C-alpha cells in the first residue's frame, strides 16, 4: 500500500480502539476523525483514488460525521468515556472487524511496486510508434502497413527534484481491463494499474559521458505487452544498456496507438494448440514468429537511423556492434529465431522459450551466439522440451540452461507484483517475488555483461549459494 493508504486506517484504528484502553480521550485524539478526512482528501489529490479503497473512504466519512457532534460539544477539551457496556463493546469490536476487512482489500490488491534499479545511472524512457511501409499487416481486417510500438529505457542524467516518475503503463485505462479479462478477472479489477509508477523518467536527458551503450531488444510473449518486465528493463538501463521493448499488434493483449486506435489480440494468429494437429499448429505459430522476427530486424533498422540522426535524443549513443535480443515465451522463440537468422544479434537470452513457433532451419542448425536459457520449474511441457533438445544440440557448449525452482511462467514478468494473492490467481509459482526478481536481475545482467561487455561472470560458471533456486541443467 502507498504511504497515505497506510496512514488512513492507522488513524481510524487508533480512534476506534481508544475506549478499550482508556476512559479519557484527549483533545489530540478527538480530532482524529477530522484528521483522517484530511488525509483521505490529500491521498485523493496526491496518490489518486482507487476502487479497492472505497470501504475505507466510506468508513472515514461515517466516522467523521458520527463523531462530529460529540467533538463539538467537548469544545476541544477532551472527552470522559464511560466504561463500554456489553452492547457497546460488541459495537466497537464489530467496527474493528469492519475496519480490518476494509483495509484488507487494498492490502491484497495494492498499487504495484517494482524493485528499484540498482545501477549507477538514472533511467530515462520514451515510447514511439514505428511504421514499416514495406510490409502489410497479416492479422488485421484492414489493408494497412505493419505498425508497432517501441519503448526505450536508457542511461540518463540525474532527474531534478521536481521530476515525476513515469507511469508503469500510460495506456492502463484501456489495457488493464484486457489484462484482467485474460487472466480470468472482472474487467474493472486491475484499473488501479493506471496509478502504478516506475523508477524511470519520461524524456530525461541521456547520460553521454560513457556512451555508446550496448543495445538490448526485448520481445513479450503471446498476449503480453511491452511493459510486462519493466523491473528488468530499468535495471539493465541503470547498468549502462539501452533497452528497447516492443508492443507487437495482434499478438500483444492490446496495443494502443498514438491516434487512439487499438489493436487487440487476434486469437486466430495463435489458436489453442489442441484445436489443430501438431504440424498445422506449428505452421501457424511459425508464421506469427516469422513476423515478430521481421519486427526485431525493422526495429534495429530504425535504431540505426536514430543513432546517426543529430536531432534524435540518443544520437551517437547506440553501440550497434553489441546487440542482444531477449524475450519471454513466444518472444523467447522469436529471439532464438532472429539470432539464428540475423548476424546483428551478438547474444541472446530467453525466459521460458516457446519453441514450437521456431523455424525448422533454426531448430536444425541452432544459433551461433552465446545464449542463456532460463526456464521456470512449472511451465515446460513435453513437445516444447523435445524441440528445445533438438535445437540445443547445435549451440555453443558455453551456453547455459538454468531452471528456476518454484517459479511458474509469469514469474519472469511484473505480474507477481499485482497482489500477494498472485499464486492463487495463477500469476506465479510458490517462489516469493522477493527471491525471483533479484535472481532474474542478477543472472540477466551477468549474462549480458559477459557476452557484450566482456566482464567476468562467476555467477554463470556454476551454481551459486546465493541462489539455490537456480538449478544448472547443462
Rg value, the chain, Cα = 26
Domains and CATH numbers, the chain: 3-108 (no CATH), 122-472 (3.40.50.1820)
Count CA atoms closer than 13 A to 451's CA, side-chain side.
30
Helices (H), ranges, 308-381? 330-341, 360-365
Q: What is the pLDDT of residue 345?
A: 98
Q: What is the pLDDT of residue 347?
A: 98
Contact call for residues 166 and 198 (beta carbons, < 8 A): yes
Q: What is the pLDDT of residue 244?
A: 98
Buried residues in 185-217 as b, exposed as e (16+ CB within 10 A): eeeebbbbbbbbbbbbbeebebbeeebbbbbbb
Q: What is the pLDDT of residue 22?
A: 63
Q: What is the pLDDT of residue 425?
A: 82
74/185 Cα distance (integer angstroms): 49
314/125 Cα distance (integer angstroms): 11
76, 272, 448 from 32: Cα distances, Å: 12, 56, 53
Q: What is the pLDDT of residues 298-332, one digit of tens each?
A: 999 999 999 999 999 999 999 999 999 999 999 99
Take residue 458 and report the three cell numbers written for it. Answer: 562467476
Q: What is the pLDDT of residue 28?
A: 66
Classify residue 105 by burial, with Cβ atoms within 10 Å: 0-12, 13-18, 19+. Answer: middle
Q: What is the pLDDT of residue 435?
A: 93
Q: What is the pLDDT of residue 76?
A: 55
19, 35, 37, 218, 271 from 15: Cα distances, Å: 8, 11, 13, 51, 56
pLDDT, averaged per 10 consecutive residues of the chain (474 residues), comes to 94 83 66 93 95 96 88 62 62 87 93 95 98 96 95 97 93 93 90 95 96 97 97 98 98 96 96 94 97 98 98 98 98 98 98 98 98 95 95 96 96 89 88 94 98 96 95 90
Which residues fall within 8 angstroms of residue 302, CB to CB, at 6 or more apart? 130, 150
Amino acid at each position: 500500500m502507498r504511504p497515505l493508504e497506510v496512514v488512513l486506517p492507522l488513524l481510524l484504528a487508533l480512534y476506534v480502539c481508544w475506549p478499550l484502553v482508556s476512559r479519557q480521550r484527549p483533545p489530540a485524539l478527538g480530532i482524529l476523525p477530522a484528521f483522517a478526512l484530511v488525509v483521505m482528501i490529500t491521498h485523493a489529490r496526491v496518490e489518486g483514488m482507487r476502487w479497492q479503497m472505497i470501504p475505507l473512504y466510506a468508513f472515514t466519512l461515517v466516522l467523521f460525521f458520527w463523531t462530529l457532534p460529540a467533538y463539538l460539544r467537548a469544545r476541544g477539551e477532551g472527552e470522559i468515556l464511560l466504561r463500554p457496556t456489553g452492547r457497546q463493546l460488541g459495537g466497537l469490536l464489530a467496527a474493528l472487524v469492519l475496519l480490518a476487512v476494509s483495509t484488507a482489500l487494498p492490502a491484497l490488491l495494492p498499487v504495484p511496486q517494482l524493485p528499484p534499479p540498482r545501477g549507477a545511472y538514472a533511467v530515462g524512457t520514451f515510447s514511439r510508434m514505428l511504421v514499416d511501409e514495406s510490409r502489410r499487416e497479416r492479422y488485421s481486417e484492414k489493408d494497412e502497413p505493419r505498425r508497432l510500438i517501441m519503448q526505450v529505457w536508457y542511461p540518463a542524467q540525474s532527474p531534478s527534484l521536481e521530476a515525476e516518475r513515469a507511469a508503469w503503463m500510460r495506456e492502463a485505462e484501456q489495457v488493464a481491463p484486457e489484462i484482467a479479462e485474460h487472466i480470468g478477472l472482472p474487467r474493472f479489477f486491475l484499473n488501479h494499474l493506471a496509478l502504478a509508477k516506475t523508477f524511470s523518467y519520461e524524456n530525461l536527458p541521456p547520460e553521454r559521458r560513457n556512451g555508446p551503450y550496448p543495445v538490448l531488444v526485448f520481445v513479450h510473449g503471446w498476449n503480453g505487452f511491452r511493459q510486462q518486465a519493466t523491473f528488468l528493463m530499468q535495471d539493465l538501463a541503470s547498468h549502462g544498456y539501452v533497452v528497447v521493448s516492443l508492443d507487437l499488434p495482434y499478438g500483444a493483449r492490446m496495443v494502443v496507438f498514438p491516434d487512439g486506435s487499438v489493436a487487440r489480440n487476434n486469437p486466430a494468429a495463435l489458436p489453442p494448440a489442441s484445436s489443430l494437429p501438431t504440424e498445422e499448429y506449428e505452421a501457424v505459430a511459425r508464421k506469427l514468429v516469422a513476423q515478430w522476427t521481421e519486427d526485431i530486424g525493422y526495429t534495429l533498422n530504425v535504431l540505426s537511423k536514430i543513432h546517426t540522426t543529430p536531432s534524435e535524443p540518443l544520437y551517437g549513443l547506440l553501440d550497434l556492434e553489441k546487440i542482444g535480443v531477449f524475450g519471454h515465451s513466444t518472444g523467447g522463440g522469436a529471439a532464438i529465431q532472429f539470432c539464428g537468422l540475423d548476424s546483428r544479434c551478438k547474444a541472446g537470452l530467453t525466459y521460458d522459450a516457446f519453441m514450437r513457433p521456431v523455424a525448422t532451419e533454426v531448430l536444425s542448425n541452432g544459433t551461433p551466439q552465446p545464449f542463456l536459457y532460463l526456464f521456470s520449474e512449472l511451465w515446460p511441457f513435453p513437445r516444447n522440451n523435445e524441440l528445445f533438445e533438438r535445437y540445443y544440440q547445435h549451440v555453443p557448449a558455453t551456453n547455459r540452461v538454468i531452471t528456476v525452482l518454484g517459479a511458474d511462467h509469469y514469474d519472469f514478468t511484473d505480474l507477481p507484483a499485482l497482489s500477494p494473492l498472485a499464486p492463487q490467481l495463477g500469476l506465479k509459482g510458490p517462489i516469493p517475488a522477493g527471491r525471483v526478481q533479484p535472481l532474474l536481475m542478477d543472472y540477466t545482467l551477468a549474462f549480458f555483461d559477459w557476452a557484450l561487455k566482456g566482464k567476468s561472470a562467476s555467477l554463470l560458471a556454476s551454481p551459486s549459494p546465493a541462489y539455490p533456486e537456480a538449478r544448472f541443467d547443462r
